[in-house]
Amino acid sequence: MSILSSILGQVSESATVENLAAKVGLSPEQVEQAVAALGKAHFAESDTVTTAAEHTGLPQDKLNEIVAHIGGEGALGRFASMLTQDGEAGSILGSFSKMI
């Protein structure tokens, strides 16, 4: 289980990278990229989904589906906070922020 799946499981009982990928029609790699981008973009002053879409190239409708499956903006906020607190997950965000 990836660190992202582990943290997602703490926010939403059924959310794992693999489950989200199957539900939204993306590969697990794309979902990991999307989740990391959404977590990072959540702290930006701009719209979370728009910012994540601009940096990943993934469609906004797919990112909105992921946010909905995670549990909405509130759950995304908790997820983003957990990402920044977890050392390994923080490195995932750090790697993503270099792309931005």
| Tens digit of each residue's pLDDT (9 = 90 or more) over 3-54 | 555 655 554 555 678 888 899 999 989 988 898 888 888 888 889 999 999 9
User: What's the pTM value of the predicted model, to 2 decimals?
Assistant: 0.71
Tens-place pLDDT, residues 49-71:
999 999 999 999 999 999 998 88
Alpha helices in the chain (DSSP H): 3-11, 17-24, 28-41, 48-56, 60-70, 72-85, 87-99
